[in-house]
Structure 1
Amino acid sequence: MPIYQYKAINPEGKETTGAMDASDRGGALRQLRSQGLIPVEVGETLIEASPRRAARPSRKKRKIKTRELVMFTHQMNSVLKANIPLTQALAIISSQSESEVLREVLTEVREAIEGGASMADAMREHPGVFPPLYVNTVRMGEEGGVLDRVMAQLAEFLEANYALNAEVRSAMYYPAAIVCMAVLSVTFILVFVMPRMTKVFLESGQILPLPTRLLIGAGDFLSTRGWTIPIILGGLFALMKWWLSTEDGRYKWYRFLRAMPALGIFIKKVGVTRIAQTMASLLQSGVPALDALRLVAATVGDAVVQRALFEVCDKVQKGQGISKPLAQANVFPILFTQMVRVGEESGELEAMFAQVANAYSLEVRYATKNFISLMEPIIIGVMAIVVLFIVMALALPMMKMGQLAH
């Protein structure tokens, strides 16, 4: 009996690996699901040791841009609809791709399929290119014989997710650009302008006002000890990164972000949109609701939402449905839970998740505009205070010098 190696997600959201005996791959999948595990990677050891695949070195760290994955998925959908054989479709797309990494990966995927592996098993060898969510959706399409339809749904999902990420980036770029310009301007004044003004002020022999002394001190610090700032910031960044790598740290950080007035609302709406988009795509691809919830919980970035979703999964496994545990979590908007309840009661859960995704996509656009509108006056106000302080620090001693001259 063949031996199958597997990687799966347990009910607690942890990744687990192992091996098992099974008559075929479908039997191995059934065994994993009967144990409450969500299969991520399942492959026969003989396939894994195929000489053709072993001859090529593993390159699991290779990555491609999200846009390239979206285009590949659209192309796969088109060629599969044209009834072109899978290996030939991969060869055509590979030859037309502008990305060297994607060409290499698709060549290896095609070789693995020719060697007897499924498309999902071949793709899972390249996690930097095909994420687990993508691979599991492709697996469902292969097992159901509807790979072309699944690729169309994946393309739509990736397109929507790409647009959502673009909205999030646009909300962050503008405030970040203004802050960077302000910091550079102030640094230029402190390092290059203040030393010349300081010499003039000191030669006048007057007692400098407090704002001027503070500005001179800041300029001296940047000139003599400014090199310590990158070191301190680097240390703080490393400490923050370590803290966020812990489960408790990530949870507390996201709870803090979600409590902020404008940013918190924005984060909540983005999170709900991503959950709805992913659930709709997985359900439309034939993934069972509980498995879809666990996959979403395992891949969501917000630690608060992740913890809530795993608790929902436990309750769903006990037969409580989906909408009620979602409402009891006190994390998701009331509109979201109510729409899920309607979809669950009407038997149109996947269609309702799609509607939620569309509705909240519009909400994210409005939230993006509101966030930028709120941040702009705050940043301008802070910059105005800084500029006023600098002007005062320079003007006060100059006024005294004028009085002394008269």
Structure 2
Amino acid sequence: MTVYRYQAVDAAGRSLQGVVEAGNEAGARGLVRDLGLLPTSVRVQSGPGAAPTGLRLTGWGKSVTSRSLAAATRQLSTMIGSDIRIDEAVRIVGHEHESSPIGAVLKDVAASITEGRSFASALERHPRVFPEFYRASIAAGEQSGHLADVLAHLTEFVASKERASRKVQLALLYPALLAVVSAMMITLLLVYVVPDIVKVFVSRGAALPLLTRALIALSGGVQTFGLPLLILAGAAGIFFNRWLADPANALKFARFRLNTPPMRGFVRQLNAARFAGSLATLVRSDVPVVDAIRAAAAVTPNIYVRERAMVAAQRVREGTSLRRALSEAEVFPRMLLAVVASGEHSGRLATGLERAALDLEQDLEALVSAMVALVEPAVLLVMGGIVLLMVLAILMPIVNLNNLAGL
């Protein structure tokens, strides 16, 4: 994709300028016309003003979401299943989504198809919008003549990923807000409230309980070292991100997360479900097994699992059975391996993988629900316990002073 700077006039005759992202000059002019403008000059923009390819679209500044991709895929499946030409279907769906970033992407895809490209090769111009498994499925659907069915499978897959992600995000929103607000309140108490109370205790010369002395020490530490510690934490985060930028370090960390409690079960389940679901869709779309494994590996979040799946694909290319290759990877659950073995033996690998993917997704959903259900009370207990200790630390000296006054 190339960034083009345009000059145009609107219906009122006013001169406007801006930038769009398109595959060629003709596509850029078409995008400008779709904005209701008449282009007078369109030229390539280079240098620091250029936008990143495929991920974001100049003019909207927003990324393509899974929800909009699923909606567009469902509409394409319906229209192509109704014998509408591919380029026309893509163009119509692009107009339906003209207010979202994917609309401009689909218009460019339609322009590429009109120029003589295949649907799959047109999608390859936007690799960050259309994942590898998505493009591989489309290519297989075009070759086999079952493009509408492939799009239907892709719709369900993308939509299920969107539902799962949104469910987790919404469930964790309240605990996250609660933790942030509570942490801010505790910090403000330590910095502004506790010191004033300490002055009262010191002026009375009262003997302070251990809990109160600990609170005073913590308050002094926050006031003295709070900002340096915050800077140190930021520097540590930057250093860790740079450390992860090295592929070897990122692979080590991914393997650590895959094999270390308490997140080991969740990470393995998530990656197995994503891999099995993608592989089922690709095999159902008649994609060759080796290519299907590689494309499905690209969907897995953990790069160590991805690397082991790529090794399994190479083993299958060398003649090893799929079940044995996945078993040697040592990153997939036994249930998935048993289903793969049964599918290879019966010749119904796609059906078996779909059932395994469904079972893994259900187990993953139950695991996520349990984790989310525990997060909220855990946050409440931790923050409530901290606040309780602070209140006790403040009240205990006050009670002692009242007792002394009564004597």
Q: TM-score range by the shorter chain?
A: 0.7 to 0.9
**Secondary structure in structure 2 of the residue aligned to 1:152:** helix
Tell me what 1:84 maps to.
84
The reply to whether residue 52 of structure 1 matches residue 40 of structure 2 is no
Tell me what 2:251 maps to.
251
Question: What does 1:4-153 align with in structure 2 at a 5 Å threshold?
Answer: 52=26, 59=51, 60=53, 61-62=55-56, 63-97=63-97, 99-153=99-153
Tell me what 1:163 maps to.
163
Instruction: Give the superposition deviation at 1:259.
Output: 4.1
Counterpart-to-counterpart distance in 2, 1:380 and 1:193: 22
Counterpart-to-counterpart distance in 2, 1:106 and 1:216: 62
- AA aligned opposite 2:265: I
Q: Which runs of 5+ in 1 are unaligned?
A: 1-47
Distance 1:329 1:319, change over 3 A: same
Counterpart-to-counterpart distance in 2, 1:171 and 1:260: 25
- Relative to the length of structure 2, the TM-score reads 0.79
Tell me what 1:154 maps to.
154
Tell me what 2:307 maps to.
307
Tell me what 1:235 maps to.
235
Root-mean-square deviation (Å)? 2.7
Distance 1:175 1:125, change over 3 A: same
- AA aligned opposite 2:104: E
Tell me what 1:355 maps to.
355
Contact 1:171 1:371 in 2 (8 A): no
The reply to whether residue 185 of structure 1 matches residue 214 of structure 2 is no
Question: What does 1:209-228 align with in structure 2 at a 5 Å threshold?
Answer: 209-223=209-223, 226-228=226-228
Counterpart-to-counterpart distance in 2, 1:218 and 1:393: 12
Tell me what 2:15 maps to.
none
Counterpart-to-counterpart distance in 2, 1:329 and 1:49: 40
Larger mean Cα displacement after TM superposition, 86-95 or 253-262: 253-262
Cα distance per residue 1:293-350 (max 9 Å; x no partner): 1122234221332232123223212211111222233322111111111111111111
Higher relative contact order (CA 8 A, sep 6+): 1
Instruction: Give the superposition deviation at 1:204.
Output: 1.6
Contact 2:297 2:306 in 1 (8 A): yes
Instruction: Give the superposition deviation at 1:166.
Output: 3.2
Cα distance per residue 1:231-265 (max 9 Å; x no partner): 33322222222233333333333343334545322
Cα distance per residue 1:50-86 (max 9 Å; x no partner): 6635867575131211100000000111111121122
The alignment covers a number of residue pairs equal to: 359
Cα distance per residue 1:202-248 (max 9 Å; x no partner): 22223434432332343344446544454333222222222333333
Cα distance per residue 1:386-405 (max 9 Å; x no partner): 23431332133223322332
Cα distance per residue 1:156-177 (max 9 Å; x no partner): 2111222332344356445534
Instruction: Give the superposition deviation at 1:99.
Output: 3.2
**Secondary structure in structure 2 of the residue aligned to 1:287:** coil
Percent of counterpart pairs with the same letter?
30
Counterpart-to-counterpart distance in 1, 2:124 and 2:383: 49
- AA aligned opposite 2:200: V
- Relative to the length of structure 1, the TM-score reads 0.79
Instruction: Give the superposition deviation at 1:354.
Output: 0.5
Tell me what 2:10 maps to.
none
Instruction: Give the superposition deviation at 1:183.
Output: 1.5
Larger mean Cα displacement after TM superposition, 365-374 or 336-345: 365-374
Q: Which runs of 5+ in 2 are unaligned?
A: 1-21, 29-41, 45-49, 57-62
Cα distance per residue 1:67-115 (max 9 Å; x no partner): 0000000011111112112222122112221534222222222222222
